[in-house]
Chain A
Amino acid sequence: MSATDTSRTDTLQTQPDPSGAGSTPQVARVVVPPRSFRSEIRAIKIVFRRELIRFRNDRMRMATSLIQPLLFLFVLGSGLQQLSQFGTHGVNLKTFIYPGILCISVMFTAMFSAASIVWDREFGFLREMMVAPIRRSSIVIGKCLGGAVVASLQGIVLICLAGAVHVPYDPLLLLGIFGLQLLLAFSITAFGVMIAARIKQIQAFMGVMQMIVMPMFFISGALFPISGLPGWLAVLNRLDPLTYAVDPMRRLVFGHLHITAAARSALDPGLTWWGWHLPALFEAGVVLALGLVMLSIAIVEFNATE
């Protein structure tokens, strides 16, 4: 001990000690290990878990995020039914738009999941994560996975409504729907987190997300069949990433319906690129690839911020 240390101890003893902490000699000292793969996995897990804990504590979010898809499904679906009986070849309009609604509901909830990173920044918690001895990528990956699972859990409510729109409760179908929802939720969350790296105010973030998500939703064909569209809309439709989630979802649901071949080909024609029919798995692959690209961009951007 140096001289300065001794003099410091003297001044310390004159300080009152309300907690009695000074009289506890045993210190349960811990050690922070060097960074390793294991510590990164642990970090991803805890960031992921936090999303679930927060979701569990926030039931309001679950209720409010369902209002919009339910309006589309039951109000729009029932209301427009009268106009469209002949166009739908006897298929109920609610049944037709159900796969699209499954996609958009996940899209909206995933958007809110991504917004949590902006909230974290505003309330300071992001900083606590950013200064920890872990990679920024662990934070981003944990956030995206957590957000995707939370959004998909909310989507389960809509899956449960399948019977109300004449879609059979086939376990394989339900599992497939959930899988596609999870995939879409992951990509949308990654997209949102990527945006959140740049846009730091929650109002601006929600504005930008609405601006991007609403056109994506309308153009994707969630509410209309994609055959016989005017040329400009067909092009936009192929460029819309959401199209590649809506189409396989519709194919999946329609594959389990008992409807005429004419109805099937009119309502669920399948997506084409210059006449080539895209396999459903390929479409799902497009969604996954886009999600991974956006996740990578998000990681690069978060690494660059001080």
Chain B
Amino acid sequence: MTTFRKISLTVLIAGLVAGVAGFGAYSGFSATTSNTGNSFASGTVAIGDNDGGSVALYTQANNEPGDSVVSCIRVTYSGSLASSVKLHVSSGITNGAEFNLKVERGTQSTGAFPACGDFAATSTAYDAALGSFPTTYAAGPDGKAAGAAWATNDIVAYRFTITQNDDATANAHTTAKSSGSHDFTWEARNN
């Protein structure tokens, strides 16, 4: 390395030191701008009803053809996320063809569970043999007509009508035929 290059490097290093020193000379002043309070949280999916703890809509024995039970339940959505609600039943129903179940959607402002008060039907969710009621969310009838989404505080009333079907077959009812115990579930899943 020639003397000239040595000198040049020395100058450059000195310059850098000076630069750092110069930068430090302004360290007493500062200014910031900030954006605080950021957070990220999951939405909620919550659904409830007015049956006071999973109480049955019907428990009736010794029915004759045409006998029926009519009960109503109001389901309220309280989640923050838009959801799809579907209705399904537990498996294990027996003699399912012996009974017809009709589930209507509607509005209701009076009547304590399971009374129907002023229930007014707006659409029919299901009207067929009890034994054919879907047992899965995927296959279940929609909570709202045409699968409309549920928003916070949406309420839908449901009227359940279960009816003993006729059976004129001689000696077909010499022993009692029961549906067995079964549970209905309204399941909400966010969209």
Partners in one complex: no
Residues of A within 8 A of B (CB): none
